[in-house]
Amino acid sequence: MRKTYKTNASGQIETVVVGSLANVVILQTNAVLVGNGTPYTPASPETLTFEISGTSTSRTIVFELAGPKGVYVAHPAIKVGDTTYTAVASTTLGSDTSPASYEVDIPANYSFRARISVAPEGGDVDVSGWAVSQ
């Protein structure tokens, strides 16, 4: 697998993955309460690109990674389209009308999750995406 970057027509930087099939990853589905969601644990190193959406008017999502001992700690992700490549470990962004996408590298046999730390207001939250081998 090869990862390259290109500038799209809007001037945003996009990640382009060549030579690998993507795995669908569902981290949260129709979530309306505080919760851990479903962690994703790849057998080999992978890059996960995921989108936060849903009908809620507010939400707080924390990105976390757990190693072999299973203890989750904050783990920064890069917002897709952010030309400064600023890493964040949580976000309040993402809805059906304005989805927010992030990218994170996950080491082999580590678990990544998008934990809802503050209950969504006015609707639900979905977090899903695609993972590719590095």
Give the length of the chain: 134
Would you state the structure tokens that stand for residue 39, as one six-digit string?
Answer: 């962690």
- The pLDDT tens digits along the chain (134 residues) read 455 566 677 777 666 655 557 899 999 999 999 999 999 999 999 999 999 999 999 999 999 999 999 999 999 999 999 988 899 999 999 999 999 999 999 999 999 999 999 999 999 999 999 999 98
C-beta neighbour count of 120 within 10 angstroms: 22
- CATH architecture of the domain formed by 21-133: Sandwich (2.60)
**How far apart are the C-alpha atoms of 81 and 104, rounded to whole Å?**
13
